[in-house]
Amino acid sequence: MTFSLHGQAVSGGIAIGRAHLVSHAILEVAQYQLRERDVAGELVRFDKAVTTARAELDALRSEASVPGAPAELSAFVDLHAMILADPALTDGVRDLIRERRCNAAWAMVQQMQQVVDQFDEFEDAYLRERKQDIVQVAERVLRVLQGKPRKLAKRKTTTDDDLIVVANDLSPADTIQFKSLKIGGFVTDLGGTTSHTAIVARSLAIPAVVGMLHARPLIQDEDLLIVDGTRGVLIVDPDSGVLAEYRLRKTELELDRSKLKRLVTGRSRTLDGEDVELHANIELPEDAERATEVGADGVGLFRTEFLFMNRDELPDEDEQFEAYRSVVKTLGDKLVTIRTLDIGAEKEARALRNRAGNRSAPNPALGLRAIRFCLVEPQLFLVQLRAILRASHYGRVRLLIPMLAHAHEIEQTLALIELARMQLRESRQKFSAVEVGGMIEIPAAALSLGPFLRRLDFLSIGTNDLIQYTLAIDRTDGSVAHLYDPLHPAVLKLIGQTIQSAQRAGMPVAVCGEMAGDPKLTKLLLGMGLRQFSMHPTQLLEVKQQVMMADAAQLAVRVARILKLDESEKISEQVDKL
Ligand code: PEP
Ligand code: MG
C-alpha cells in the first residue's frame, strides 16, 4: 500500500531504492507468561518464525545477486543468515520459552540483549559493531512472530535502485561511514536540520529527510522507497505512475547539476565587480578532491573531529600529520583552514569516552565541547597542534579554533600553540607561519569581539551553533526544529555586527555554517557585506551562480532596510525578493 511521510528536508535530491532498516532500538514487544499447556505451541510458532525469516533472507539473497545490486546488500544478507543459523541466539530463546514460560517475542528480545551484551565485551571493534546485525536479525524474527511478515521479493532489485537507510536516529559517527558505502539516501525519525548527521548528508550529496517521527516502525526491510530530500517527503511503496514521475524528476535534477559544472572555471564575482571567495567545508581528507573539482578557493573549514570517530585508539601525531598534509597537498597553493578538535555534544568519539571531558553531560551542547575540552586535555590538544603545524610546511595552512567565548580561552589557546611551536623547534621539525582564527558561534563572542579582533588573525562565523545558542534550540532535536530560524532578527543582528566590526578592524571574516551554503541566503549575506563563504563542495556552484547574478552595491542598500525589520516572517518575505 502506498503512503507518504513528511519530515525535515536536510539534503536535497531524489533517491529511489530499497529500505535497509538500521536499528538502535529494541522493538516494543509485549511480555506475558504462557500457560503450561501453551508452551509446546509457542515453541512451534517460534521455529516457524525462524523458518520464515530464513526464507526471507534466501529471497533477499537472490535479489542481491542481480547484476548491479549493491555489494553491501549481499554481504549483509550472508551475515544475517549466519546469525540466524547460530544456536547461540535461537537455542537460548527456546530455553526461555520452555523454562520460564516466556512468550516467544519477549524471549527473543531477552536472548538478543544477552548476546548483544557479550558483543560489547569484544576487543575487536568490528566484531563489537556487529551487534547491530544481531538486533536486525532478532527484529526480523519478531516481525514474523507479531504477524507482520515481510513481503517476499515483490520487485527485483534493478541496477539503478539505491540502498536507502531507515533508522530511528543516526549519529554523525554512523553517517560518516556512509562515505565508504554505496548509500543512496537515508531517513531518520529523530534529528534536526543542522545536526552533524544532516551536515554529513549534505557533504555526501545524498538525499536525506530527518525528523520523520514514525518511519522506522512503519517501514519494512526491502520496501521500495522514494526519498525526496528537497521537499522532505518519503513515499513508501509508490505506484508505477509516481515512480515514473520521480525517476524523471531525478534525471532532471542530475541534468541541472551537470549544467552547473560550467561554472567551475568562472570567476566568482558579482555583476558590479566584487570578488567573492568561495571555500569548501570538508570532514575527511578524501573530501579535499571534491573541493578542487568544484574550483573552491580553498578549504574554509576542515572538521577534524571526524578523524577521531569510529575507532578505539586516538590518531597519533604522525597519523594526523599525514591526514592534514594530504589535504594541504591536494589543495596545492590554496588556503586550508584546519579547525581544531570540536568533539562533544552529539559528536562523540569512542576513543575519548573515558576522558574527563567527554563523559555524558547533563546538557552536552552546553558542556565541555570543542576548545573547552581541548584546554582541559592540553596533551591531546598539543598532539593535534603539532600535527597541524607540521602540515603547514607543505602549503598554506590556517588554524581555526571552535567555541571560543572568553578572552582567557583565546590567551590559553595561543599559549599552547606557542608551546607546540617550541616543541617542534626542539625536535627540529619544519613548520611555516600559520594564522590563527576564531569561530564566532557563541552569542557572547559576537557581542564582545574586542579580544578576538586584538589577538586573532581572522574570524569565521559558525551560524549553526550561533543560531542554536541564540535561540536556545538544540540543533539535534527535531521537536524544536521549527523554531530553528536563521532569519530571526537577533541572529541576523549578531552576524551583521560581526561582519561590520571585523571589516572595520581590517580583519578577514567568513561564514562557514550552513547559511553560507544556502543559495537562497547568498544575496542576503552579500548585502550584509560578506565576501568569504565556506560550504560543502556540493553547494558551491549554486552559490556561485547566485554571486554572479548579484549586484553587491544595490544589495547593501536593500539588505540594510531588511535588517531594520524585527519579525522573521517579514524578513523572509523580503529576502525571497532579493
Ligand atoms: C557552526 O557551528 O556553524 C559550524 C560551522 O561548526 P559545526 O557545524 O561543526 O558545529
Ligand atoms: Mg559549531
**Which residues, judged by CB distance below 6 Å to any ligand atom, belong to the binding site of ligand 1?**
199, 301, 303, 342, 441, 462-465, 512-513
Task: Kindly list the strands in the beta sheet with 224-228, ordered across the sheet, starting from the edge strand earlier in the chain.
Answer: 3-6, 233-236, 224-228, 14-22, 162-167, 185-188, 208-210, 8-11
Q: Is 160 exposed, middle or buried (0-12, 13-18, 19+ CB in 10 A)?
A: exposed
Closest CA to 45 of 106, 128, 110: 106
**Å from CA of 544 to ligand 2 middle:** 24
**Å from CA of 392 to ligand 2 middle:** 23
* Residue of minimum CA distance from atom 3 in ligand 1: 462
pLDDT of residue 25: 40
Contacting residues for 273 by C-beta, under 8 A, at least 6 apart: none
**Ligand 2 ion: residues within 5 Å (CB):** 441, 462, 465
The C-alpha atoms of residue 179 and residue 186 are separated, in whole angstroms, by 13
Chain centroid to Cα 22, Å, comes to 16
CB 533 within 8 A of CB 516: yes
The C-alpha atoms of residue 569 and residue 99 are separated, in whole angstroms, by 64
The C-alpha atoms of residue 384 and residue 374 are separated, in whole angstroms, by 10
Taking the CA atoms of 56, 58, 60 and 62 in sequence, report the sign of the dihedral they define: negative
CATH number, span 25-146: 1.10.274.10
pLDDT of residue 154: 36
The C-alpha atoms of residue 309 and residue 298 are separated, in whole angstroms, by 24
232 conformational bin, left if phi > 0, alpha if psi -120 to 50, beta if neither: left
DSSP letters along 421-462, please? HHHHHHTT------EEEEEE-SHHHHH--HHHHHH-SEEEE-
Atom number in ligand 1 closest to CA 460: 5
Atom number in ligand 1 closest to CA 464: 3
**Å from CA of 303 to ligand 2 middle:** 10
* Residue of minimum CA distance from atom 1 in ligand 1: 462
Contacting residues for 448 by C-beta, under 8 A, at least 6 apart: none
Q: Do domains 25-146 and 271-576 have the same CATH topology?
A: no
Residue ranges of alpha helices (H) inside 457-516 are 463-471, 489-504
The C-alpha atoms of residue 495 and residue 497 are separated, in whole angstroms, by 6
**Å from CA of 377 to ligand 1 middle:** 21
State the DSSP H helix or E strand holding residue 405, giving kind and residue range, or none if neither. Answer: none
What class does CATH assign to 3-22+151-238?
Answer: alpha beta
Closest CA to 342 of 361, 358, 327: 358
pLDDT of residue 181: 67
The C-alpha atoms of residue 428 and residue 405 are separated, in whole angstroms, by 34
Give 186's DSSP letter. Answer: E
CA dihedral 229, 235, 237, 240 (to 10 degrees): -90
Helices 131-145, 39-64: inter-axial angle, 10-degree rounding: 120
* Residue of minimum CA distance from atom 6 in ligand 1: 462
Ligand showing the shortest atom-to-Cα distance for residue 303: 1
The C-alpha atoms of residue 287 and residue 537 are separated, in whole angstroms, by 9
Instruction: Show the cell assigned to 354.
Output: 573515558
Closest CA to 474 of 194, 160, 164, 132: 194
Strand partners, 225: 17, 236
Tell me which long-range contacts 483-486 makes (C-beta under 8 A, separation of at least 24). 484/192, 484/193, 484/194, 485/568, 486/515, 486/518, 486/521
Amino acid identity, residue 219? I
> Which residues participate in catalysis according to the annotation?
196, 512
CB 280 within 8 A of CB 334: no
Looking at the domain 271-576, which fold is it? TIM Barrel (3.20.20)
CB 432 within 8 A of CB 392: yes
DSSP letters along 8-26, please? EEEE-SEEEEEEEEE-SSP
**Å from CA of 190 to ligand 1 middle:** 19
* Residue of minimum CA distance from atom 10 in ligand 1: 465
Contacting residues for 129 by C-beta, under 8 A, at least 6 apart: none
In the chain the first and final C-alpha atoms are separated, in Å, by 43
Atom number in ligand 1 closest to CA 196: 8
CA angle 375, 376, 378 (to 5 degrees): 65
pLDDT of residue 470: 98
Residue 421 CA neighbour count, 13 Å, CB half:
14
CA angle 87, 88, 89 (to 5 degrees): 85
* Residue of minimum CA distance from atom 8 in ligand 1: 464
**Å from CA of 402 to ligand 2 middle:** 7
- pTM of the prediction? 0.74
The C-alpha atoms of residue 101 and residue 418 are separated, in whole angstroms, by 68
Closest CA to 492 of 517, 519, 471, 518: 471
Instruction: Show the cell assigned to 81.
Output: 543468515
**Which residue reads 509508490 in cell numbers?**
238
Ligand showing the shortest atom-to-Cα distance for residue 200: 1
Atom number in ligand 1 closest to CA 345: 10
Closest CA to 70 of 21, 135, 18: 18
**Å from CA of 100 to ligand 2 middle:** 51
**Å from CA of 31 to ligand 1 middle:** 44
Amino acid identity, residue 558? R
pLDDT of residue 155: 37
* Residue of minimum CA distance from atom 9 in ligand 1: 303
Instruction: Show the cell assigned to 24.
Output: 538502535
Give 280's DSSP letter. Answer: E
Ligand showing the shortest atom-to-Cα distance for residue 467: 1
If one residue of 10, 175, 203, 439 were mutated to test the ligand 1 pocket, choosing by the most ligand atoms within 8 A of its CB, it would be 439
If one residue of 284, 308, 342 were mutated to test the ligand 1 pocket, choosing by the most ligand atoms within 8 A of its CB, it would be 342
Atom number in ligand 1 closest to CA 462: 3
If one residue of 465, 469, 525 were mutated to test the ligand 1 pocket, choosing by the most ligand atoms within 8 A of its CB, it would be 465
Domain boundaries, the chain: 3-22+151-238, 25-146, 271-576
CA dihedral 425, 431, 435, 441 (to 10 degrees): -90
How confident is the chain (578 residues) per 10-residue block, as mean pLDDT? 89 90 58 89 95 86 64 72 90 94 90 84 72 80 71 41 82 69 84 77 87 85 91 94 93 89 93 97 93 97 91 91 98 97 82 61 86 94 98 98 98 98 97 98 98 98 97 89 94 98 97 96 98 96 96 97 96 96
Chain centroid to Cα 184, Å, comes to 15
The C-alpha atoms of residue 221 and residue 18 are separated, in whole angstroms, by 8
